[in-house]
Amino acid sequence: MKIEQTKIEGLLIIHPQVFGDDRGWFMESFNHQRFAQALEELNLPVPTFVQDNHSLSQKGVLRGLHFQKTPYAQGKLVRVVQGRVWDVAVDIRPESKTYGEWVGVELSAENKTMFWIPEGFAHGFIALEDNTQFLYKTTNYYNKESEGAILWNDPTLAIDWPLNQVDKVLVSEKDQLASTWKSLNI
């Protein structure tokens, strides 16, 4: 496993080791011991995962930017097992020097890249192919009363979504009514 640090502390891009031959390929999609060791070497807290989620999205579906407020905040280890997404995490930790900054990464079944998003981030993605399957582990259970969302296209954040790769953006009614960055209440 190769860990790539991003411009935002704690936000990591993970490239698993893939073993392939003419029969196909094999990889460990998660190994707690190796993940914990990598985080400890970076002086980052080691999470415990309590829930796995799996979604299916058609090309152009944009989900997010979602988060849960403390004490139900969630860290997420995300990956794509079919298709391709542009995945984004926004730092919503008010005390952070990178508050309001974002990182985006392409995750696909082909590249097998994973994205570690610790607690204190809003998260979203846009599906770049039909039938995209997205898997993620969370460090806390879903709690409806603590959920929040930031408008995906808020001009203050200026997220560079790859909209030229989709014909139409499909956003849920709930996400269309999300808070702006300036009105965010964490």
pLDDT tens for 118-158 read: 999 999 999 999 999 999 999 999 999 999 999 999 999 99
Section 171-185 average pLDDT: 92
136 is an active site residue: yes
Cis amide leading into 11 (omega within 30): no
**pTM reported for the whole predicted model:** 0.94
pLDDT tens for 66-116 read: 999 999 999 999 999 999 999 999 999 999 999 999 999 999 999 999 999
Class of domain 48-176: mainly beta
| pLDDT above 90: residue 185 | no
> Looking at 15, 32, 54, 66, which residue is catalytic?
66
Asked if residue 92 lies in contact with residue 68, where contact means CB atoms within 8 angstroms, the answer is: no
> Looking at 32, 99, 136, 142, which residue is catalytic?
136
- The pLDDT score that the predictor gives to residue 186 is 73
What is the residue extent of each domain of the chain? 48-176
C-alpha count within 13 angstroms, C-beta hemisphere, residue 51? 13
99 is an active site residue: no
pLDDT tens for 27-53 read: 899 999 999 999 999 999 999 999 999
